[in-house]
Structure 1
Amino acid sequence: MFTFDIVPGGTVRDVLRDGRRDIIDLVDRTYRLHEAGRTVNPDSYFLRFPEKPDSRIIALPAFLGPESGVAGIKWIASFPENTRSGAPRASAVLVLNDYETGYPVACLEAAAISSARTAASAALAARTLRPAGYQGSTIAVVGAGVIARNICDYLHAADCVPGSWLVHDLHEPSGQALVEHLRATGRAPAAFTTDLGEALAADTVVFATTALKPYVTTPFKPGQLVLHISLRDLAPEVVLAAQNILDDVDHCLKADTSPHLAEQATGSRDFVTGTLAGVLNGEVTPDAERPVVFSPFGLGVLDLAVGAFVLERARRDGTAIDIPDFFGETRRW
């Protein structure tokens, strides 16, 4: 009851690297569990800073349901200016709680967990929303940071391997670094482009940027799949011209995401086609005559599911660090 473990970043990274296919399947199951109403996923809470409007720290509490017995919270900071010094934009911790007692049982380094669940979500959507596959097609990645690298790795794990990769980033050294990563790990040619328009014309476009406001104003074409992971790249008219698949409608339509701006522009949610879980369950079928945009807000239940997976593997392998006497009092009297 009173055990408490720390799982450091190196251990988290190793578990995730060796379990990408398992993580994709886990995200699939968790989406379906959430769609069935068997989880609790409250609104995220944003701590903002008046002098640093581009920075925030977000709390994502969640509960995976009585069967799992896992509750918890992710506390994740997004400070885009970190990238100027070469540091990652995001840092995070995840605290897991026992459902029976409420006591915390572990604290995990969670930037890697957050990145993995995001990437697995993108890969699951890529596999589901383009059932014809990727042979001979081009995937363009707009934004070349940690999230983008992880998405590419998870696309490989999901067997979403294109005929070629195209990378665009305003910071060319980052873009070239992702190109080199793809050349070293991928199974297809990769190239960097300074032309955003060239990237936007690809068969599949992945957005993994730090954009705060829309800058893409030209609608996509039928047959294109857009993995809109960074959520704020597309102008409302682009969203309205597409079939829109979200992870959770209420969560996604807030915080000035592109779908939220589309809702504000129209006063309606009629542009929302459905959720990814709805597609997975066969309840939603996107229209092939229109482009498809997947916009995931990011659900705390995914962090819990992946975090619990990492904790179980770390405990099994003896790489979780037990903290004796973490709790100051273990008896009422």
Structure 2
Amino acid sequence: MLVIGNHTVHRTLDGKEREVLDAVRDAYVAHAAGDTAVPHSVFLRFPADDTNRIIGLPAYLGGGARVAGMKWISSFPGNVASGLQRASAAIILNSLSTGQPEALIEGSTISARRTAASAALAARTMPGETPDTGVSLIGCGVINAEVLRFLRVVAPGLRTVRLFDLDRARAEAFAETHAGGLTAEFADSVDEALAAHRLVSVATTASTPHTGLGHCRPGTLVLHLSLRDLTPEAILDSVNVVDDADHVCRASTSLHLAEQHAGNRDFITAALGDILATGRPRPRDPHKVTVFSPFGLGILDLALADLVRTDAEKHDTAVRLTDFLPVG
């Protein structure tokens, strides 16, 4: 049994954004080809607590990876005020021949980077009429920090970032830490951020819809990563791309609410994996807003966890427990 901590995860993934993008792309293509198994996630919630949760994401990824396992990830937003990260996670990888657990990997960095990589792939795959030179980030936490990291790889023409967070000091700290080389500007409202650029990433802890998209310019791509920010009406008025319709239309996401309102899923235009499988970009509708809403499939976590495990075995940087499992 290998135990791989956060330091080793960073050692493997830092500076390898293109490898991460390739791994996430390959996982999406395998999913589009039906070479995955992705049961519905399990949400553990607590009595009289509408804020905190722990989610289990079991999955099997085929393609060139062939890996099975599960991510167990918590979201406790109150951690931020205590100086802790909102999310913490562990990933277990299992043997496909015996079913035995083979690796336990710290998963928060993997989870954040696979989310950001999927957003960046969407931005690259659905380009605007002209290359994006600016991006608005709504929510200045770990996820949008990673989104900015990966967007700078797929959109090297970025020059400006407009930041909005309910905590202005947090936005200013974000700019100091993550905006190096970009002009950082600050929005006073969500509406101002939505209007500033035709590329927008929304990554907040919102549990219910709080904004429409009326201030977005036509041709805008909104990376709706936190899934519950947009009103059902905004979803229904947009071009919608998802990672998996069955997964994203659950658990009171904005798309789930839109489905309940419309009585169908006809408002979903495409899945990102299907677009990626064609090998061709799908330009945004220049007259409407396009919204990418990824539920975050467990196969993406497995793809990066497998990268980390392989590297840790190669460089002997994991802790190996020889007595973890019973003998015989």
How many residue pairs were aligned?
324
Q: Which residue does the alignment assign to 1:33?
A: 30
1:53 to 34, 44, 50: 50
**Segment drifting more, 274-283 vs 169-178:** 274-283
Q: Distance in 2 between matches of 1:40 and 1:133?
A: 37
Q: Distance in 2 between matches of 1:302 and 1:172?
A: 32
2:201 to 189, 202, 206: 206
CA contact (8 A) 1:98 1:104 kept: yes
Query: Tell me, what secondary structure is at the counterpart of 2:68?
Result: strand
Amino acid in the other structure paired with 2:210: Y
1:274 is the counterpart of 2:267? no
Q: Distance in 2 between matches of 1:67 and 1:100?
A: 16
How far residue 252 of structure 1 moved from its aligned partner, in angstroms, is 0.4
Q: Distance in 2 between matches of 1:214 and 1:252?
A: 15
The change in CA–CA distance for 1:230 and 1:289 in structure 2 (over 3 A counts) is: same
Query: Tell me, what secondary structure is at the counterpart of 1:77?
Result: strand
1:147 to 129, 143, 146: 143
Q: Distance in 2 between matches of 1:132 and 1:218?
A: 19
The CA deviation string for residues 208-231 of structure 1, in whole angstroms up to 9 with x for no partner, is: 100001111243332111000010
CA contact (8 A) 2:67 2:93 kept: yes
Matches within 5 A, 1:1-333: 4-65=1-62, 68-130=65-127, 132=129, 134-135=131-132, 137-184=133-180, 187-201=181-195, 202-219=197-214, 220-282=216-278, 285=282, 286-329=284-327, 331=328
Query: Tell me, what secondary structure is at the counterpart of 1:326?
Result: coil
The change in CA–CA distance for 1:119 and 1:67 in structure 2 (over 3 A counts) is: closer
Q: Distance in 1 between matches of 2:209 and 2:124?
A: 26
CA contact (8 A) 1:213 1:233 kept: yes
Q: Distance in 1 between matches of 2:131 and 2:281?
A: 22
CA contact (8 A) 1:168 1:193 kept: yes
Q: Distance in 2 between matches of 1:112 and 1:217?
A: 30
CA contact (8 A) 1:133 1:160 kept: no
Report percent identity of matched pairs. Answer: 42
CA contact (8 A) 2:2 2:318 kept: yes
Q: Distance in 1 between matches of 2:157 and 2:144?
A: 15
Q: Distance in 2 between matches of 1:289 and 1:106?
A: 48
How far residue 317 of structure 1 moved from its aligned partner, in angstroms, is 1.6
Amino acid in the other structure paired with 2:295: F
The change in CA–CA distance for 1:103 and 1:177 in structure 2 (over 3 A counts) is: same
Q: Distance in 1 between matches of 2:174 and 2:266?
A: 37
TM-score normalised by length of structure 2? 0.94
The CA deviation string for residues 103-139 of structure 1, in whole angstroms up to 9 with x for no partner, is: 111000001110010011011111111155635x321
CA contact (8 A) 2:120 2:154 kept: yes
How far residue 160 of structure 1 moved from its aligned partner, in angstroms, is 4.6
How far residue 161 of structure 1 moved from its aligned partner, in angstroms, is 4.0
Any unmatched runs of 5+ in structure 2? Answer: none
